[in-house]
Structures are given as C-alpha cells and as structure tokens.
Amino acid sequence: MAGEMISVNIYGGVCDAIIGLPGYPQITRQGNDIRILFFSVHYDNPELCNLGIGTAITSIGTFPTGSYTLEVERRYMTVFGTWHQETLGVIPFTVSGSQAQQPVEASTLNVVGIVGLLLALTSAAYFVLRRSV
C-alpha cells in the first residue's frame, strides 16, 4: 500500500553473511527501478564457514502507487583480493493506492419506518397466532 514501508529480507549464514559497514547498504533509484547493494562476506573454504545463521532485514523506503522492480545485489572480496559482485534477485512489486476508503451512505429507518415495521411484525404475528387456534 502507498505509504507503507517496503523492506527486503535476506537469509544467510554458514559461508555467507551480510555485513553492516558504513556506506552500506547502498540504495539507488532511477524511475521505478530500485537497486540495493549489500556488503557481504563469502567463504569457499568449509573450515572458515562458521558464520551465524539469520535473516538481514533492511528497509528500502515508501513509494507512491505504481509498479517497481527491486534488484538486490551483494559485493564481497575474494581470497585473491578482488571484488566480486552478484545479483541475488530481481523482485517486481506493485504499490497500490491508500487503504482509506470514503464513507458510504447506508440507509437507516427513521421513527416512521420503525413504527411501520413494528406494526407489520405485530400484524404478521397476530395472523399466525389466529390460524393456529
């Protein structure tokens, strides 16, 4: 819904984890295309794979009504000292309008309507009771 916070959840651990460093995550937007870049660690050696398991939850922002694409990427340094960047996913999503709805008029009975309804119910009850006697 428009005005609600959009967030991304990334599950990781053991050999991969998102690390919170200054300047990360980097969120950029061009029109309806949003990109978020995380800093992470990645180990290929099983002896080093001892990272805690969990979910990183990051707020992206609020957006007006429309269709959007969120590209989630991560960057980490390899054992050779070079940077590696990869796309974790591309997520299309739609933001719909506000949940607030305009009040709808509903008809109600006034005093004359209530008296008429009571007379009709009394008459119906009288005729049902009269037939059963």
Rounded Cα gap, residues 98 and 107, in angstroms: 26
* Structural domain spans, the chain: 6-95
Rounded to 5°, the CA angle 14-20-23 comes to 145
Kindly report the pTM of this predicted structure. Answer: 0.68
Q: List pLDDT tens digits, range 64-113.
A: 999 999 999 999 998 888 999 999 999 999 998 865 555 555 556 567 66
β-partners of residue 101 are none
The average confidence (pLDDT) of the chain is 84
Burial (0-12, 13-18, 19+ Cβ within 10 Å), 41: middle
